[in-house]
Amino acid sequence: MAQTLTVAVLFSGNGTNLENLITRFHGRRFGDKSIRIVPVTNRPDAYGIKRARAYGLQTVVLDHKKFESRESFDAAMVSKLKELSADLVVMAGFMRIVTEVFTSQVEAINLHPSLLPLFKGAHAIEESFKSGMKVGGVTVHRVDSTLDGGEILDQMCVKIDPSDTLESFEAKIREAEHEILPRTVAKLLDLPAEGID
Ligand code: GAR
């Protein structure tokens, strides 16, 4: 009997990384394990909800505006993730800072579009592009209650060519993200890396 592992993917917007994780993992079997992706968002209007629906997946919506404080939102998120029995929690474009209410109870990883510790925060791609550096990159790190500050698990460099525009650089960042995140997820779930393409 295959063991089913549940991966909760938290997102707030477009959801390309969510979709990439769905296509690479959801309903697929890796040796004696099979994977279930559960999309979770804090925004009822997030485009990723539509992406998930195209694969027959219902998104769990916890609208942060309906909560009085960060802590009460985080507490609701924690109980939802426990209810789902998530084996892994992945933040992929989840644009919320979480408090200790979350980090003391949930182990999660986060995808960030820069070479941390450089360019933390919500404008990493643009700041990185305008920095004058010849490379930017992407990072997957553990989540703690500091902004983009947890232990770094993996990174990839992305070249900034003189011919790049912000848009072309962003496309390269997205491409790197779509490689690094599944790779880290496979590693953390102990799946064979060659199986995830
Ligand atoms: C990604 O670039 C991700 O690294 C970034 O949001 C984007 C979401 O794209 N996350 C952060 O900036 C977190 N600080 P997507 O919705 O298409 O997956």
Domain boundaries, given as residue ranges, for the chain: 3-195
- Is residue 14 in contact with ligand 1, taking CB distance under 6 Å? yes
Question: 111 CA to middle of ligand 1, Å?
Answer: 7
Per-residue model confidence as pLDDT tens digits over 135-162: 999 999 999 988 899 999 999 999 999 9
pTM of the complete model: 0.96
Per-residue model confidence as pLDDT tens digits over 63-117: 999 999 999 999 999 999 999 999 999 999 999 999 999 999 999 999 999 999 9
Please list, in sequence order, all residues whose beta carbon lies within 8 angstroms of the beta carbon of residue 125, skipping any fewer than 6 positions away.
113, 114, 136, 166, 169, 170, 173
- Is residue 36 in contact with ligand 1, taking CB distance under 6 Å? no
CATH code of the domain occupying 3-195: 3.40.50.170
Ligand 1 atom, smallest distance to 121 CA: 14
What is the percent of the chain with per-residue pLDDT over 70, rounded to a whole number? 97
CA angle 81, 144, 142 (to 5 degrees): 80
pLDDT at position 66, please? 97
Check whether 163 has a pLDDT greater than 80. yes
